[in-house]
Amino acid sequence: MNCIRLTSVLLLTAGTVFAQTAAAPDNSRPTEPAAIKSFDLKAIDKSVDPCVDFYQYACGNWIKANPIPADQVRWARSFSLLGERNRYLLWEELSAAAKDPKTPLEKQYGDYYAACMDTSRIEQEGLKPLDPALKRISELKDAKGVSTLMGDLEGAGDAAPLFRFGVQQDDKDSSRQIAALSQAGLSLPDRDYYLVDNPRFQKIRAEFVEHVTRMFTLAGDSPEEAGKEAAAVMQIETALARSSTSRTALRQPENRYHIYTLTELDKLAPEFDFSYYFKAVKVSRFDTLNVATPDYFKELSELIATEPVPAWKSYFRWHLLHAAASNLPKAFFDENFAFYGRTLAGQREPTPRWKQCTSMTDRALGEAVGQDWVKVNFPPSSKASMEKLVAALEKSLGEDIQTLPWMSEATKKAAAEKLAMIRNKIGYPEKWRDYSALKVSRDDLMGNLRRTAVFERDWNLGHLGKPVDEKEWDMTPPTVNAYYDPSMNDINFPAGILQPPFFDPTIDPAVNYGGIGVVIGHEITHGFDDEGSQYDGKGDLREWQTPADRAAFKERTGCVADEYSGFEAAPAHGDVAEQKLNGRLTLGENTADNGGLRIAYIALQNTLASEGKNLDETIDGYTEAQRYFLGFAQVWCQNQTEQAARQSALVDPHSPGRWRVNGSVQNFDAFGKAFGCKKGQPMYPQHSCRVW
Which among 40, 372, 523, 529 is annotated as catalytic? Answer: 523
Buried b (16+ CB within 10 A) or exposed e, 468-487: beeebbebbbbbbbbbbbbb
Q: For residue 523, indicate whether it is catalytic.
A: yes
Phi, psi for residue 292 in degrees, rounded to 5: -60, -35
* Neighbouring residues of 469: CB distance < 8 A, sequence distance ≥ 6: 463
Beta strand 288-291 with 423-427 is unpaired
Whether residue 299 contacts residue 268, with contact meaning beta carbons closer than 8 Å, is answered with no
Whether residue 249 contacts residue 294, with contact meaning beta carbons closer than 8 Å, is answered with no
The CA–CA distances, whole Å, from 198 to 193, 343, 575, 644 equal 10, 17, 9, 18
Name residue 159's amino acid: A
Which among 400, 593, 624, 652 is annotated as catalytic? Answer: 593
User: Rounded CA gap, 106 and 230, in Å?
Assistant: 43
* Neighbouring residues of 98: CB distance < 8 A, sequence distance ≥ 6: 110, 111, 113, 114, 117
Q: Where are the beta strands (DSSP E) in 262-301?
A: 288-291
| Burial group, residue 383, by CB count within 10 angstroms (0-12, 13-18, 19+) | middle
Element at 133 (helix H, strand E): helix 131-138
| Burial group, residue 120, by CB count within 10 angstroms (0-12, 13-18, 19+) | exposed
* Neighbouring residues of 339: CB distance < 8 A, sequence distance ≥ 6: 207, 208, 211
User: Rounded CA gap, 483 and 462, in Å?
Assistant: 24
User: Rounded CA gap, 630 and 622, in Å?
Assistant: 9
Whether residue 477 contacts residue 373, with contact meaning beta carbons closer than 8 Å, is answered with yes
Q: With CA atoms as reference, report the closest residue to 638 among 39, 66, 51, 17.
A: 66
The CA–CA distances, whole Å, from 622 to 132, 164, 464, 510, 654 equal 65, 51, 55, 11, 29
Phi, psi for residue 22 in degrees, rounded to 5: -90, -170
Whether residue 14 contacts residue 72, with contact meaning beta carbons closer than 8 Å, is answered with yes
Phi, psi for residue 444 in degrees, rounded to 5: -145, 75
The CA–CA distances, whole Å, from 360 to 318, 457, 605 equal 22, 17, 42
**DSSP H helix total and E strand total for the chain:** 29, 14
Question: Any idea which residues carry the catalytic annotation?
Answer: 523, 593
